[in-house]
Structure 1
């Protein structure tokens, strides 16, 4: 600037000199260069200052300020390597800072959530403790017999159940339901029993409706179904209970009961075995295992199970009775007597024990002892609930001992009580009463009773056989043949049926048919001498004298005192022209039993001698 001022002081006429002009141009050029340099240095300083400010802002964590400072740089400078590096660094540090901030916010949020959850869990644990306390108080009240107090505690517990945890609520309702049902089974008070059972059923249904698969609810519903004789539903509920709690012996036990009631004895046997394995001290499970095993004709397993039941519970009367029954069938009379005696010692006034003992004794043919046992059963029987089977059984053993008059009395009483019996027993009672009447000589009443049996059971072979025999005795051969022919269709291998058919045809003088049925009877019982004599008589009637002679000879060989057969054999010999043999048989008869049909024997001998 000063050089320019000096040149400007040169007179105007000299300023156009070339040397002045050259210097002026040089001054202008150097000034321009100096100005450009100054501006460049200023821009560089400003840039450096801004970069320093931006770094300082970055170091302070003020990423927005740093970005703002960098944004004030000219576009040309923003492309510089150092500026780009700082911009990238600012962006990276901002991103990292944001990530840290987000993580911290998430940590704070989670911590708050965890604290809230812990607080809620603590509150829930306290609530559950209070609920369990009320349930425990309810159970204690039930154990003490205070039903109303128990229900009050249970209701309080249910009011406390959380509405936002239906699974837990259902589980607790299920627990209460089982406690109520168990108490209903334990009480003898009818009103309490119904109240407890109804409440248990309601809670169990509520629990299941909310989707609960808790074992207790299914157990209660199974027990209700079992009580109502809905055995298939009971089975399904107990299976669900077992699925939820496969280690509960009681669930398998009740499942076995439901299966047994449906006749599923094999499945029931498996269920009772599972129950005994889970609880080896559970006497009722062993008893019922014996029961179903007996139904499966597995008497060995049954006896082992019954014995195990009374070994666990020495007062298990029914187990002793059942074991005694099996031992009697097996011929172990001493063991059977010991078992029944033990049952009688436990309860000497139990009519059923004497009834079972009598049946076991009758089965082995000890009719006298059976008679005594049945009479004791009647003596201890509640006469307002008189058992027709006991009177019936007593009558049968009396008939077996030919105490016909006394048998008739008890047969009549069983007949008068038969309304309470099942259909099979009713027919047996009626048949037995008919038999007693028959043995007492009351043929018409016996026939009426046999017909009553056939009205209810047309396929009763014994009734048909006895009725046919009575018709035979009354000379009603056609009626006898009609009744007995149907019996023959039902059981062609029945000895009595064949023998009585032979008698009926013999009376009608249809000897061919008579011979057929007598032969059948002998094939069934080859040593029956009465049938053989009947066959001989039929041969004689058919004029098959050779066969008749052989048959009669077999009869007297088996029974040398069958005097009627000696007489009939002599007649057959006469028919065959064998007078010598006829005389031999008649002489023997006259010598050994001189009073037997004396006139007829004498007449036949006289005719031979002529």
Structure 2
């Protein structure tokens, strides 16, 4: 019987029905178990479609609901590994195995990742754990075979892969692995080819099988067959970068430049959304020094794919190689607006800022990037470099250590640690870094140089020499190896041999200012300034754009009395490198030498205007102002230097002394003098200033003791002799007062010091 409902009753039923439906839906949404599986399923769909970023978001959402959801950890690990984020993938696999110890495939994946990281014993542990659960697991035997092959145990590797094939004879990857092992022995070459052909017949998408078969065919001179297999590898997986690069390398070996460029251009074009793919063509052009051609190609590619950040970053690398900083800055600005979240963009921005001399700003950018991307190798490396440029060795050391942890085999990280150790004169750590680097790259010359330097610091001359010789043996054209050996010979006073080694270093690196400077020092030691001048001028002809060599020439010219020549050389250095502080210093010194102190002051005033955070520059400016009699200006400059760098020793010392001369606060002067002495404990000047402040405060005994001790090392310092004489005069010791005042006058005739000493002598009779 049909019941008739009033409109009001019908509306009530509709509302109740909607409420019931919504309640059921909300109940589903509130059920954590259903919600996490919905995120998981959504992530898998995205993963199947190749949308890895979206997939990782959904798997992460599932883990927000249940952070112990093992299946989501495993799926997230696979996405990370596909994206090339190895550390994140490794972390997720560890978590998966911890939560799901019976997830055999996760253990196999973890084992392969451990093997790739050369943690072979841990990889074996995962394979054995799988076999303990399932003793006929073919993947576990394949993993054990790969470990044995890595260790060089071919027989064991063959045994284990054959065991895998006995369990699963139709697995293409196993046939490929057996083929690769057999290919290493000419006696089993035909069998290897058979195995590899079996692999590709079973799985046409097995890229590795195609690649190994191609290598085998190329070796037997079947070039067409090899080329076909390489092309098949690309067809099997168009996004496989190794396949693309392998085809390009095949053409490189054939000297077919046109096909090399076409292959890499097509790869870069089609893989423009992938940083490694976008970099393929750039790497080739940079390696072959075809910067203009590379820049033109990438300009077109960027125009074609204007939203591709990887392409723009690769383009920037070519422009950096071309030293086209203006265009790099333009790309950096664009990416900072559109892709500021990418760590590579932060690195590029920091490189531009460092080139602009904006060290603090670059450091800040990289610190922020490191916080957002704590496992990014390049961010850590550049943060270390920026910290070094900033003078923060603690952060530099920490950053390079992080980089070394992220990739223990990264030589750039080891190099950064070595550089920090050398700056800190920490030769114990340098030796440790050297040992680690030698283990990573025994055929690299540089780690042997580091170890040799550490040994030389301990006066282990024979060991140092052996390491320097090893570096030369590995890399006979390495200029640093000859330079280090030369410095060892200088210590041993074997001057002719040292000179020969330095000349060889310059032959391989004409821009080595250090080698040239040491050669010049040997000429001056042998009292041959004309030879030194001639040597520098000849080297400048070979390296005309080296500002440091002009700095050296300017210094030599000042020493030989050619102030005008020094002025010209320093000016040339400044033109080559406006950021060369040594050139500005040489220029100002030459200006003083020609009697133009006012212009020297103006030079440094301009420098401090351009470099407002350069404490040393303000100190130099203050020294010049003081020499010209501008005590107020000097005092202001010293105070500015100390506001930037409170422990600036020279500024502290000079300001303290100036305060004693101008009636300044002696307590403040004493504090400044003590700071200077602490920073420069072996300096006669800091001892003299501290003693003179104590003299002014009436602390004659401590002033006397300090200067008596200083005279043991610096007996010919006129100022110390004068001040000690004045102190003895206050102590009523006329004999010693007269002795030291007379020495001061004799050491500095026709100076204000001599006049002051003679005046005091006349007073004490």
Normalising to structure 1: TM-score of the pair?
Answer: 0.49
Which one has more relative contact order, counting CA pairs under 8 Å at least 6 apart?
Answer: 1
Normalising to structure 2: TM-score of the pair?
Answer: 0.41
